[in-house]
Chains A and B, each alone.
Chain A
Amino acid sequence: MGEEEGKKAVIKFGPKLLEFLSKFGEIELEHVDIEVGDLEIVLQPAAVVVAPPELVAPPPKVKPTEILEVPFTPPIMEYLGQIVEVKLGATKGEGGTRGTSIVIGGEKSPAFYTFESLPPHAPVVACDVFDMKIPLPKPLKMHIEDVMEDPAAWAKHCVDKFGADMITLQLTSINPQTKDTSPKEAAKIVEEVLQAVDVPLAVGGCGDPEKDLAVFEKVTEVAEGERLMISSVSPYMDIKRTAETIKKYGHVALALTGMDMNEARELNHKLYDILPREQIVMDTATASLGYGLEFTFTLMERVRLAALMGDYELQHPMASGVTNAWFAREAWKKMAPDWEPRELRGPLWETMTALTGLLAGVDYFMMMHPLAVKTVKDVIEKLMGKGAGKLEEIDWHIMRI
C-alpha cells in the first residue's frame, strides 16, 4: 500500500464512539485526525490515546459523590431476513386428522434476543418413538420400558405422560441390514401412531437412501394431508423423487446435511425446484455435549445469523436430534460415586445439549428423557413469557442453604 501523507480529514463520530474515545472525561477529546489512504483509513489518535495499564492515568482530582444517570440505549439491530414459517400437522379443517397443527419459525431476531423481538412461535419439543425395541441406556429405558414393544402406546405415553408437543416416529426397523420392514408394513405403523395420538407427527427413516425413499413414498401416500415432517431428505437420496412425494401428498421435508453450511444451502436450493419454502425445515446435524457440541452450536448460530442477514437459502426453521446426547459415554455410563447418580447426569446431559441449541436458534427438538423434555418446555415457556416484571429481591449473600 502506498503511503499517503498529508491527506487528512476530520471525521465526525457518533455519540457512542465519541464517548468511547474520550473515555469519560479523563482524557480530553478535541479532535480526531484521520489519514485517508487508498484502501483504508488510519486513525491517528494522538490526542485520545488511553494509557495502557502500565501507565495508569493519575487518580482524578475530585471523586464523584453521587451517581449521575447516563443514557442507555438497548442495542437493537435491523435484520434484512426472516425465517419462514412452516406448519406441521393438519387438523380436520386443514385436510388432516390432527387435534391441532403447529407453526414453527418466523423469527426476526437471533434466538431469544427478546429485547429486539419475541419469536412469533415457541420452539417445539417432540419425543422420539422407535418402531422396534432398541438398546437404550438404563436412565432412559426405565421411563418407557412398558411401552417399548408398541410404538402407538409409546407415542401415547410420550404425549400423555411427558407432555410431548409432537412425536418423531423413527422407523428404525425398515433397515435392510436388520428387520427390513416393508414400506407397506411401515406405513401401517405410521397409521397406528396417527390413530393413537392427535398431535402432529414427524416420520424418520433408517438412513439407507433407497429404502428410506421407498418407505417415504408409501408413508406420504397413506398419510395424505396430515402434513407429516419427513425426516429426512439428505443429499445422498434421490432428492427429486423424495421431494415430489412430499409435495404430492402435502407434507414437510426435513433437510438433513452434515455440519457444513454450504451443503445445507445446496440441499435447500435443490429442494426449491419442487417444494415451496414453507415446506422445508433444516437440520445441520447434532453432536452431543462433550463430543462436538461446539461445532453444532457454532454452525447453528452462523446459519441463523446468516439467514437474518438475508441468506435466502438458510431462512428455514432448524431441527436438532438432541437424543444424540446419549451417545456421550458420560451421559449414560456408570461412573465413580462422585459423579453419580447417572439417572440425573444423563437427562441433564440431554437438557444441556438441548438448551445450547435453543440459544443458537433450534425450533424443533427431538428428545427422549421426560425430565429433559419437561425442563426444555419449561425454559421455553419462561423465555416466551412476560419476564420478571416486578423484581423479586433475592439476596443470595445472606441466604441460608
Chain B
Amino acid sequence: MAYHEDLRRMIGLSKGEISPIDVYNLLPRTNCERCGEKSCMAFASKLVNREATIEGCPPLLQKEYEEAYKKLWQLLKPPVKEITIGTGERPVKIGGQFVMYRHKLAYFNPTAIAIDVTDELPHNELLKRVKEVEGFSYTYLGQELKLNLIAVRSTSNDPVKFGMTVKKIAENTNLPLVLCSFDPSVLEAGLKAIPEKRPLIHAATKDNWKDMAELALTYKCPLALSAPNDVKFLRSMTKALMEYGVKDLALDPGTLPSEGLKDTLNNFTMLRRISCEERDELLGFPLIGTPIIAWAEHDQEPEVAKWKEAYIASMLITRYADLLIMHSTDGWVLLPITILRQNLYTDPRKPSAVKPGLRIFGEPDENSPVMFTTNFALTYYTVASDIESSDISNKCYLLVIDSEGIGVQSAAARSRMVRKGGLTAESVAKAMRETEIEEKVKHRTLIIPGLAAHLSGEIEDLTGWKVLIGPSGSSEIPKFLEEHWYGKKGS
C-alpha cells in the first residue's frame, strides 16, 4: 500500500481521493434521514462530491458529535479557503477551490469581477459608473451574467476624500467593495465610512502590514496581501499575518505588464498547485489578478488598453484567479470575459443535456410549424432563444430529440464533425411517435436542421412526413419561416 497516496487521499485532495467510507465512519451512522438522504452512506457520498455540507446533518451539530464534526470539517475543507466579501444582499464569495483541474471535480465560486472607481471622480460620474457596473447584465443559456464588486482606488491619497467617496458609493449600491490604498490612514477613513460592510482591504505589503492587520482585525474585514512577483515573500507574509490573528486573507502575487505575463502565469499556477496539490495552508487562499495594469502605459489608445486588459483577464480566469480588478466597462470587453468565466466554472459533472420531448412556443395551432433539435443543452438553449426572438417563429412545436447529450453544436462548427450521437432518423421518428405530434397538427411537414439534411430521405421513409430542410444556423429560423412556411407554405 502506498502510504503517500493514501495520506494524500485522507487529507481530502480532491474528489475520488477521499473515500465516502472515510466520511461515513465519522457520521452518526443512524440513518435518521434528517439530512434528506436515505442513509448516512448516501449523505457521505454527497459530502465527498461537495453536493452537501456537514451542517446538513443536524445530529452532527450536537455536543456529543463535536469531535466528529471537527474531524469532518478538517477532512472536507477546501485547500483554498473560501472568503466572503461584503454583507447583506449580494455578498461575494471567492476561493473555496478543491482542485487545480476542473475535470477532477469542478471549480466553485466563479471568478469575481470588480470594476474600479476613484475618489477623484466627480459625483455624477461616480454614480453613473457605479450604476453601470450594477446594471451590467447579459442573459446567456438562461443565466444572468453579472459584475460583482466595486474597487475604490484612492488616487487623491486624501483620507477625507476617500471616506466620503466610499460612503457615497455604499449609499448607492449594495455591491460589495474592495478598498484600494497602501496608506493605512486613507484606508481607515474608508473603513470608518462603512464599518459593518466587510469590504476587502487591498492591500497589506511588506511596509504597512502591521497597520493593515490591525485594521482588518478592528473592522473584521478580509485582507489582501500584495507581493508582486515574490511568491516566497507572500508565504512569509501570510505566516506573519495568520500569527497576527488575521484569518481571512487573499493573495495578490502581482499581475505584471508585458514580458511579466510569463511570471504572472507561473506565480498563479505555482500558488494553485501548492495549495490544491500540496495542501500548503500558508498559500491556501484565493488569488487576486489585476488586469487593470493594462492601463498603466501612457501613450496608448484606450482601445489598446481595453484589448490588453481583456486578454490578460481571460488568461487569469483560465489560470485560477478568484478575483479580478478591472477598469473597462465596455460590453465588447466584458461579454466574452463573463462568458468564459461561466464556461470554465460550469460543473463538468452536471449533464449537459436537457430533457427530450416536445416544447411548445407561444400558442401554436394545427397549422403551425414543427421543427426538431437535439437535447444538448447548448444547442437547445440557442435554438430556443432564436425561436423566441421573433413573433414569426415564437409560435411552433419543437421536438427535442435525445441525442445522448451530444451536440450538433460542435458539429455546427464544421460539417465534417456531424456524425456522432443518437441523432438518427429512427430517433426522430421515435420522438414523433412518443410526443403524438400527429394529433397536434393537420399538416405533415417536418422542418429539420440544415446540418441534419443528410437524414431527410430516411426520415421521410420512416415517418411518411414531408421533410423541409431548414437553415444551418438557428438564428435564421425566423427568416426561414417567414419565407418558406408562411410565404409558400409546404409546397
Secondary structure at chain B's binding surface: helix, strand, loop or mixed? helix
What does the 1/0 interface line of B1-28 toward A look like (CB < 8 Å)? 1010011011100000001011001000
Inter-chain CA distance A330–B339, complex, in Å, is 10
Inter-chain CA distance A345–B334, complex, in Å, is 10
Inter-chain CA distance A315–B131, complex, in Å, is 50
B257 contacts the other chain (CB 8 A): yes
Q: Pick out which of these stretches binds chain B: A43-51, A147-155, A215-223.
A: A43-51
Q: Which of B382-440 contact A (CB under 8 A)?
A: 382, 407, 409-410, 412-417, 419-420
Q: Is the CB of A46 within 8 A of B155?
A: no
Residues of A within 8 A of B343 (CB): 289-290, 293-294, 297
Inter-chain CA distance A355–B265, complex, in Å, is 12
Closest to B153 in A: A397
Q: Is the CB of B235 within 8 A of A72?
A: yes
What does the 1/0 interface line of B230-256 toward A look like (CB < 8 Å)? 011101110110111101000000101
What does the 1/0 interface line of A313-356 toward B look like (CB < 8 Å)? 00000000100100101100101001111101100110110011
A382 contacts the other chain (CB 8 A): yes
The one of B71, B154, B335, B410 in contact with A287, judged by C-beta atoms closer than 8 angstroms, is B410
Closest to B232 in A: A72
CB distance from A232 to the nearest CB of B (A): 8
Inter-chain CA distance A293–B340, complex, in Å, is 8
The one of B21, B296, B415 in contact with A399, judged by C-beta atoms closer than 8 angstroms, is B296
Inter-chain CA distance A389–B412, complex, in Å, is 45
A195 contacts the other chain (CB 8 A): no
B333 contacts the other chain (CB 8 A): yes
What does the 1/0 interface line of B302-318 toward A look like (CB < 8 Å)? 01001100110011001
Inter-chain CA distance A52–B295, complex, in Å, is 41
Q: Is the CB of B335 within 8 A of A298?
A: no
Q: A298-B348, A348-B311, A388-B259 are in contact. Are A20 and B280 (CB under 8 A)?
A: yes
Q: Is the CB of B339 within 8 A of A290?
A: yes
B258 contacts the other chain (CB 8 A): yes
Most B CB contacts (10 A, CB to CB) among A25, A234, A355, A398 go to A398
Inter-chain CA distance A394–B10, complex, in Å, is 43
Inter-chain CA distance A11–B1, complex, in Å, is 14
Inter-chain CA distance A267–B403, complex, in Å, is 23
The one of A286, A292, A301 in contact with B409, judged by C-beta atoms closer than 8 angstroms, is A292
Inter-chain CA distance A178–B254, complex, in Å, is 54
The one of A289, A338, A391 in contact with B228, judged by C-beta atoms closer than 8 angstroms, is A391
Secondary structure at chain A's binding surface: helix, strand, loop or mixed? loop
Residues of A within 8 A of B486 (CB): none
Q: Is the CB of A17 within 8 A of B7?
A: yes
Q: Is the CB of B229 within 8 A of A391?
A: yes
Q: Is the CB of B154 within 8 A of A396?
A: no
Q: Pick out which of these stretches binds chain A: B32-40, B90-98, B269-277, B457-465.
A: B269-277
Residues of A within 8 A of B74 (CB): 45, 48-50
The one of A72, A286, A301, A327 in contact with B231, judged by C-beta atoms closer than 8 angstroms, is A72
A393 contacts the other chain (CB 8 A): yes
What does the 1/0 interface line of B162-205 toward A look like (CB < 8 Å)? 00000000000000000011100000000000000000001000
Q: Is the CB of A294 within 8 A of B260?
A: no
Q: Is the CB of A399 within 8 A of B295?
A: yes
Q: Is the CB of A394 within 8 A of B293?
A: yes
Closest to B229 in A: A391
Inter-chain CA distance A55–B247, complex, in Å, is 13
- 9 tightest CB-CB pairs across the interface, nearest first? A207-B416, A388-B260, A339-B331, A72-B232, A345-B332, A294-B343, A324-B413, A52-B73, A338-B331
| Apart from the given pairs A112-B262, A115-B266, A286-B413, 7 other A-B contacts in the complex at a CB distance below 8 Å | A19-B281, A64-B244, A324-B413, A348-B307, A356-B340, A389-B259, A391-B260
11 A-B pairs within 8 Å (CB atoms) are namely: A49-B71, A59-B245, A63-B245, A67-B240, A207-B414, A232-B416, A294-B348, A298-B103, A348-B336, A351-B310, A396-B290
Interface residues of B (CB under 8 A from A): 1, 3, 6-7, 9-11, 19, 21-22, 25, 67, 69-71, 73-75, 101-103, 118, 120, 140, 153-155, 157, 180-182, 202, 206, 209-210, 213, 228-229, 231-233, 235-237, 239-240, 242-245, 247, 254, 256-263, 265-266, 269-270, 273-274, 277-282, 290, 292-293, 295-296, 303, 306-307, 310-311, 314-315, 318-319, 325, 327, 331-333, 335-337, 339-340, 343-344, 346, 348, 352, 378, 382, 407, 409-410, 412-417, 419-420, 473, 475
